[in-house]
Amino acid sequence: MTTTDIRVAFDRARQRRRSGLFRRFLRHPGGFIPLAIFVLIVLVGVFAPLLAPMDPNFVDLAAAKAPPSAAHLLGADSTGRDILSRLIFGTRITIWGALITIVAAVVIGVPAGVAAGYFRGPFDRIAMWVSDALQSIPGMIILLVVAAGSRNNFELLMVTVGVFMVPGYFRIARSQTLTVREEPYIDAARVSGLSDARIISRHVVTAVYPPVIIQTALTAGMAMGMQAGLQFLGIGDSNVPSWGAMMLEGFRLMLTYPLTLLWPSVALGLTIAVLAIMGSTLAELAQVRTPRLRRRRGAPLEEAAAPATGTVRHTAEGAALRVENLRVSHATPSGVVEVVHGVTLDIAPGEVVGIVGESGSGKSQTVFSVLDLLPPSGASTADAIRIAGHDVTHASPKQRQALLGRELGYVPQEPMSNLDPSYTIGHQLVEPLRRVHGMSAADAKARAREVLLRVGLADPDRVMRSYPHQVSGGMAQRVLIAGAISGRPSILVADEPTTALDVTVQAEVLELLRELQQEYGMALLIVTHNFGVVADICDRVIVMRGGEIVEQGDVDPLFAEPRQPYTRELIAASLDDALGRAELDALGPAELDALGPAELDALGRAGRDAAEPAEPDAAPATDTTEVRA
pLDDT, tens digit, 9 for 90 and up, residues 233-289 = 777 666 778 888 888 888 888 888 888 888 899 999 999 999 889 888 877 776 543
Give strand ranges (E) for 174-278.
none
Question: What is the C-alpha to C-alpha distance for residues 436 and 5, in angstroms, rounded to an integer?
Answer: 33
Please name each of the domains of the chain with its CATH number. 15-56+73-286 (1.10.3720.10), 321-586 (3.40.50.300)
Q: Which residue has the higher pLDDT, 25 or 322?
A: 322
**The pLDDT of residue 588:** 52
Enclosing H/E stretch for 343? strand 335-347
Name 39's Cβ contacts closer than 8 Å, sequence gap at least 6.
none
Enclosing H/E stretch for 554? strand 548-554
Q: How confident is the model at residue 316 (pLDDT cuts 50, 70, 90)?
A: very low
Contact 548, 345 (CB under 8 A): no
When pLDDT is averaged across residues 419-444 and rounded to a whole number, the result is 86
When pLDDT is averaged across residues 375-385 and rounded to a whole number, the result is 86
Q: Please report, as a single letter, which amino acid is at residue 127.
A: A
Q: How confident is the model at residue 605 (pLDDT cuts 50, 70, 90)?
A: very low
DSSP 8-state assignment for residue 327: E
318 burial via Cβ count (<10 Å: 0-12, 13-18, 19+): exposed
Q: Sort strands 384-387 and 321-332 into parallel, antiparallel or unpaired.
A: antiparallel
Query: Closest by alpha carbon to 103, among 145, 158, 140, 34?
Result: 158
DSSP 8-state assignment for residue 625: T
Decide if pLDDT at 571 tops 50.
yes
Q: Please report, as a single letter, which amino acid is at residue 11.
A: D
pLDDT, tens digit, 9 for 90 and up, residues 101-144 = 999 999 999 999 999 999 888 888 999 999 888 888 887 788 88
Name 536's Cβ contacts closer than 8 Å, sequence gap at least 6.
507, 510, 514
Contact 509, 474 (CB under 8 A): yes
Question: What is the C-alpha to C-alpha distance for residues 205 and 281, in angstroms, rounded to an integer?
Answer: 21
pLDDT, tens digit, 9 for 90 and up, residues 174-233 = 988 988 887 777 877 877 778 888 888 888 888 888 888 888 888 888 889 888 888 887
Contact 102, 94 (CB under 8 A): no
Question: What is the C-alpha to C-alpha distance for residues 80 and 61, in angstroms, rounded to an integer?
Answer: 5
**The pLDDT of residue 100:** 93
Query: Closest by alpha carbon to 473, among 425, 411, 416, 410?
Result: 416
Contact 279, 218 (CB under 8 A): yes
Percent of the chain at pLDDT exceeding 90: 14
Return the SS3 of 459: coil
Contact 109, 170 (CB under 8 A): yes
Q: How confident is the model at residue 318 (pLDDT cuts 50, 70, 90)?
A: low
When pLDDT is averaged across residues 408-422 and rounded to a whole number, the result is 82
Q: What is the mean pLDDT of the chain?
A: 78
Contact 309, 394 (CB under 8 A): yes
**The pLDDT of residue 292:** 36
pTM for the whole structure: 0.61
Q: Please report, as a single letter, which amino acid is at residue 357.
A: G
**The pLDDT of residue 586:** 52
Question: What is the C-alpha to C-alpha distance for residues 486 and 490, in angstroms, rounded to an integer?
Answer: 12
CA 149 from centre of chain: 43
Gyration radius from the chain CA atoms: 32
**The pLDDT of residue 432:** 87
Percent of the chain at pLDDT exceeding 70: 81
**The pLDDT of residue 489:** 87
Cβ atoms < 10 Å from Cβ of 49 = 11
CA 241 from centre of chain: 45
When pLDDT is averaged across residues 385-407 and rounded to a whole number, the result is 81
Q: How confident is the model at residue 460 (pLDDT cuts 50, 70, 90)?
A: confident
**The pLDDT of residue 312:** 39
pLDDT, tens digit, 9 for 90 and up, residues 17-37 = 444 667 778 888 888 898 999
**The pLDDT of residue 37:** 92
Report angle CA 336, 337, 341 to the nearest 5 degrees.
125
Contact 88, 44 (CB under 8 A): yes
pLDDT, tens digit, 9 for 90 and up, residues 203-217 = 888 888 888 888 888
